[in-house]
Amino acid sequence: MDELDLLKKDWNKQPDEKKLSIKDIYPMLHKKSSSIVKTLFYISIAELVFWILINTIPYVTSPQYKERLNFILSEQMVTALTIFSYAIILLFIYLLYKSYKTVSVTDNAKKLMKSIINTRKIIRYYVIYNLVMIFISSALALVYSINHDPNLENISKFTDKQLAIFTIVSILIIGAFMLIIWLFYKLIYGFLLKRLNRNYKELEKLEV
Domain ranges of the chain: 25-207
**Of 63-67, 160-164, 184-188, the least confident:** 63-67
Q: Which contiguous run of DSSP H or E holds residue 124?
A: helix 109-148
d(CA 33, CA 6): 17
> What pLDDT score was predicted for residue 207?
63
Highest mean pLDDT among 27-31, 69-73, 159-163: 27-31
Average pLDDT of span 103-126? 84
Query: 141-150 b/e with 16+ CB inside 10 Å = b?
Result: bbeebeeeee
Q: Which residue has the higher pLDDT, 9 or 119?
A: 119
pLDDT level of residue 64 (50, 70, 90 thresholds):
low
- The least confident of 4-8, 104-108, 143-147, 173-177 is 4-8
> Average pLDDT, stretch 29-53?
86
Q: What one-letter code names the amino acid at 20?
A: L
pLDDT of residue 18: 38
Q: Which has the minimum average pLDDT: 2-6, 36-40, 120-124?
A: 2-6
pLDDT of residue 69: 64
The one-letter amino acid at 65 = Y
Q: Worst-scoring range by mean pLDDT, 44-48, 117-121, 162-166, 181-185?
A: 162-166
What is the tens place of the pLDDT at every residue in 152-184? 666 767 777 777 887 888 888 888 888 988 898
Q: How far apart are CA 80 and CA 74, in angstroms?
A: 10
**Virtual CA dihedral for 158, 163, 169, 173, nearest 10 degrees?**
90
Average pLDDT score over residue span 95-107: 85
In 3D space, the residue among 86, 109, 90, 85 whose CA is nearest the CA of residue 33 turns out to be 109
Mean predicted lDDT score pLDDT of the chain: 77
- pTM score of the predicted model: 0.71
- The closest alpha carbon to 187, from 100, 118, 127, 130, belongs to 127
Percent of the chain residues topping a pLDDT of 70: 71
